[in-house]
Amino acid sequence: MFGSKFLFGAVFSLLGKTATVTYSKSVAPIINTACLGCHSSALASGGYNFSTHAGVKAAVTNGRLMGSINYLTGFSAMPQGYKLISCQLATIKKWVAAGALNN
């Protein structure tokens, strides 16, 4: 009854490939878990406070966020001690590509 195209699309949708990515529901939970230990208002390591959208957006605008979480040469690898998993990286990348909106 359902073709493979339908199932393929459903799987990608479940994986977040076609789902809408928002700051509040998709990105903030990743930031809260992976970044706020060092980049909160009390501990703004490196001068980055990720406790607000504005703080995260500043790191997006200057390229530091994507460079750091992707472990690119010339950037401090973040988070320290482990790398975000691929679906977390994809979520943040999709949000940045959509304009890093505060939604």
pLDDT, tens digit (0-9, with 9 covering 90-100), for 69-91: 999 999 999 999 999 999 999 99
Residue 44 DSSP one-character state: B
Q: 39 has which bridge partners?
A: 44
Report CA torsion sign: 13, 18, 19, 24: positive
What does pTM read for this prediction? 0.80
8 pLDDT band (50/70/90 cuts)?
A: very low
What pLDDT is attached to residue 42? 74
Which residue ranges make up each domain of the chain?
Answer: 20-97
